[in-house]
Structures are given as C-alpha cells and as structure tokens.
Structure 1
Amino acid sequence: MACVQRPGVRSDGLVVRNLDSAALQLQAAALYRRVFAYDEPDVGLSPPLLATLLRNGGSAIGITGPGDELLAFAYGLPASDDTGVYHYSQAAVVAPSSQGLGLGRLLKHAQADAVRAAGMRFMRWSYDPLLSRNAHFNLSVLGAVGRWYVDDYFFRQGSDRVIVEWDLTAAEAPATPPQPDRVPAPASWGRAWREGDRRWLPIPADPAAATPALRSAVRAGFHEFLGEGLAAVACVRCTGDTSAYLFAEHRSAA
C-alpha cells in the first residue's frame, strides 16, 4: 500500500501534499541540491525516483506555500529486517528561509500519518551524531530513539550515523527532558559518565567544533551504551557550547 498523504490546507496557507507532479518533483530536486550544497553534477535527487516511491509503497511528501513554492519535503521507502517491516525516511529537507518555523516537525508528522495509513508502525532514519540540533529534534522533540550506531554508514570514512526508530503508536516525547546532575564543560566532550541508571555523553553544540578524535570518542560512547542494551532517548542543551545525549532503557510498547 502506498504512503499517500491527503492534501491539507492550513490556516497559515501552507499545504501538505504528495509530490505527485513533475513540477513539484523538479522543485524538490533543486531544493535538495541547494540545502545540501551539492555542486557536483552527478550528485543529487532524481525526480523519477520520487514518482517511483509514490507508485510503490514509498513516501514523497512536501509542504508548499504561496504560488505552490516548495518549502520542505521528505521521502522514504518501505524496508524490512529480522525485526519486521518499517518505513525508512531517507531525507527531510527544509528551505533555509523556512527553517526554525516548525516545518520540520509538521513534515515528519505528515510523513508519519501516511506511514500509519499504509499499515506500518515504525519509521527509521539516520543522522550525524555530532549534529546536536538534529539529535535534539529527533530524540527530544519527536520522541524517536537511537537504537543503532553504524560506523562509516555511507561506506566512506567520517560518515558514522545514528539510526533512530520512531514508534508511531507511542506517546510523544516528554515536554522537559531530564538534565544531567553536573554541567559538562568543553573539556569533557566525548567523555561519557554514569548517573544511576542513566548514561550521559556530552558533545559540542556547534558541530564545527568536532575533531576526528572527538568523533572517535563519540563512536566509542555509543557502542558502549548501546551494547549495554540502552538507547539514546534525548539530547539536551546543557550550556551555550555543550549538549549531551541521554542513554537509558527503552522498550517499544507491546
């Protein structure tokens, strides 16, 4: 069954809709290249791929503004492993001029609605573990949990990714995630510590501060805590320059 989103017009004039026209698909390809700053001609998003996803159980959902200008979009595909079937969201893209307006959250929930309507319970996607804003959005805002860590996800060095799972039947993330008992300083980035049954892993709030050594330390911290059967359940801002992952036990609802 296709993950189809019924068009919906909001009071602010935004429209949530499928990318089911050549014009919208071309806009998506252009927005993709602009947001990710891809200059190479052989790197980009294929408009026919978006059409194929819509025709074959995937998702290709966008948000348009006045004049049908595409402001944000997401796309994904059905997938499976030994745990069952899920929807893998490959990318969510928001125009620079529209960031910080809540479109990312609107987009992911629209995609989730389409996935639920197609009969699936779980969504997954990946992100760079040193992007604290993405981590906060995925874990602390949406309520997804980081269950897996894949070294060199894209088969190239420096492309480690956290794989999150979003249970579409679960309650929303708590409004105020817990904070660590101590305030981590930049000198503690990548140095994990334990507080009772919780585990914390501090990272820089600005990804530009990440070094190869820090990436290696974060990789080791994730492998240690996930190997204990824990999951990354939140990412909170501790100070102006430091965020921290919270790891704890987490089980999906039956």
Structure 2
Amino acid sequence: MSGTPDRPAPGGARVNGVELRELHSIEELKEVFRLFDDIWHPAPGSAPITVELMRALSHAGNYVAGAYRGDRLVGASVGFLAAPVGRVLHSHVTGAATGRGIGFALKLHQRAWALERGLERITWTYDPLVRRNAHFNLVKLGALPEEYLPSFYGPMADAINTGDESDRMLAVWRLSQPRVLAAVQGEPHRPPTPPQAVTALAERDGRPLTGPTDARTLLVAVPADIETLRRADPGAARAWRHALRDVLGALMREGARVTGFTGQGHYIVERTA
C-alpha cells in the first residue's frame, strides 16, 4: 500500500497481492451482497446489509470498499460517518476470507480513507466471545474495547449467531495513537500480563468459572472457539455468554478499562480506582 501510517494512501491500493478500492456500482454491490451471504448464510430478510443501502451510503460519501484477488471479490467493508461529526467512521459490517490477511488489508485501507478525510477514529462492534476477533482487534490492530453492549442487535438469524444472544463490544481504533501506529507497521499490541493479575473468569472443563473481581488487575477468559461450542454444547455456550456479561460487562460499567488481550485468550482489565 502506498503511503505511511501518518500519510494516508489514496482511495485505491494494493496490499500483499490484494487490490483494495471503493465500490459504487450496483453490480459491485451485488457482489458484496453475495459475499456476505456466503459468509453469514442469513435467513431470508436478515441480510447484514442490502444492496440498496450500500448504494445509498456510497453515493452519500460513506465508506464502501472491496478487496480483490484478480477479478474475485474476497472481502468487503461498509461504514458510515458517525458522531461526533467530522471525527468518527463507524464500520458497520466487514466480511473476508479467513487466514489470508484480507481483513487486515481492508482495515489498513479503511484507516487510510479515514485519515484522508481528517477523521480521528474508527469504531465497530464485535462479539466479545469470539477469541480470534478479540485477538485481531486488540492485538493485531491495536484497537481497544470501550463499551459492553448486551443484546445489541436482538435475535440474529444466521448460521453464525443463531441460538445465541447478540452481546457486542464497541471497539475504538484511535488512528494516531502510538500502539496503533506500531500495529499498522506490523508490531502487534501485546502488553505484558501484570504478575499481580487475578483471574476473574476462567475455563474449566469447557465451562466458565468465575473468580474474584475486586483486584486492581483482572484476567477475563473467553473460550477457544465459541462458534463450534454453540453447535456442540449450546448450554455451555449460553453459560459463557452470561458469565462474560456478568463479569466483563459489569466491570466495564463500573469504569474498568480493557487494556489488552493475552495469547492465552484473556482480556486484561484494569480498575481505574
């Protein structure tokens, strides 16, 4: 990708053999719709976004972009300008083929797009139980969660989320902070686990086990693969959802801050007082 972390690239770019560009035409947006359908397999009427809405967002100057390998669309992202005006892009939905660096390439393009327009941060929501997403957002990108949102989308009818509640974490990517500048240059954000940290939520035999939550520094575990667990043991998956909400959600409501994510799958949480 042309440009540097402080000097954004133009609208079209190439990263690791992936071409990234903004999308505008109906045919391009239909490709995005089909890609998202292949990823989420939503029930009829439950698509994450429609072609018509993408067209309107694109025409109004919002972010709609695709990642291509040759002529094949392998990833896409849709976002819209958010409050406060002139400072924030909210990334509503991103889908990409896994394990090929496409998601990271899309985020670099999205960041360049935002910086080019004078924006300071990008926000998005993710399922806090999905370990690989937490690792990608907190470690690889240097974003941090700033709000726990219980049942944010209500019931969701798709192959990934059906049968679970839609708790989400609001991730905030502060585009010019040192940890983000390092992350986009390939230096992941891996703060050391404080030796005095106390485990507030652990895993035992596949199920959550709660511990004390009154220490200054806490570790909050998530399962290795919640999506597989939902299919294999729905009861255990629900127990994890409620345990994480009760522990991490409560800590964040009380003002505690998530400061990192460990290689063992724990959120690092710091009480501020």
Structure 2 counterpart of 1:220: 246
Give per-residue Cα distances to partners, 1:192-213, cap 9 Å, x unaligned: 5569642211121110335222
CA drift of 1:112 comes to: 1.2
Partner of 1:235: 261
Tell me the distance in 2 between the aligned counterparts of 1:75 and 1:217: 31
1:86/1:158 Cα in 2 relative to 1: closer, same or farther (>3 Å)?
Answer: same
State the secondary structure of the residue aligned to 2:123.
strand
Alpha-carbon distance, 1:62 to partner: 1.1
Q: Out of 209, 213, 218, which is 1:199 matched to?
A: 218
Tell me the secondary structure at the aligned position of residue 20 of structure 2: strand
Match of 2:171 among 157, 164, 167: 164
- What residue number does 2:4 align with? none
Q: Judging changes above 3 Å, is the alpha-carbon distance between structure 1 residues 115 and 178 closer, same or farther for their aligned structure 2 residues?
A: same
1:63 aligns with 2:67: yes
Q: Which amino acid aligns with 1:149?
A: Y
* Residue number in structure 2 paired with 1:75: 78
Give the 3-state SS of the residue equivalent to 1:92 in structure 2.
Answer: strand
Count of residue correspondences: 237
Read off the aligned partner of 1:176 and give its amino acid letter.
R
What is the RMSD computed on CA atoms of the aligned residues? 2.8
Structure 1 unaligned regions, length at least 5: none
Question: Structure 2 CA distance, aligned partners of 1:15 and 1:249?
Answer: 42
Deviating more after overlay: 31-40 vs 183-192: 183-192
Query: Partner letter of residue 42 of structure 2?
Result: Y
Q: 1:229 to 1:84 in 2, by over 3 A?
A: farther
Kindly, what percent of the aligned residue pairs are identical? 25
Cα distance 1:117–1:249, how it changes in 2: closer, same or farther (>3 A)? farther
Partner of 2:118: 119
Contact 2:18 2:102 in 1 (8 A): no
Shift of 1:15: 1.0
1:35 counterpart residue number: 39
Taking the aligned partners of 1:116 and 1:6, their CA distance within structure 2 comes to 11
Q: Are 1:63 and 1:73, in contact at CA under 8 Å, matched by a contact in 2?
A: yes
Tell me, yes or no, if structure 1 residue 244 matches structure 2 residue 266.
Answer: yes
Please say if residues 19 and 50 of structure 1, whose CA atoms lie closer than 8 Å, have aligned partners that are also in contact.
Answer: no
Opposite residue 90 of structure 1, the aligned amino acid is H
Contact 1:199 1:225 in 2 (8 A): no
Structure 1 contact 16–64 (Cα < 8 Å) conserved: yes
Q: 1:224: Cα distance to partner?
A: 2.8
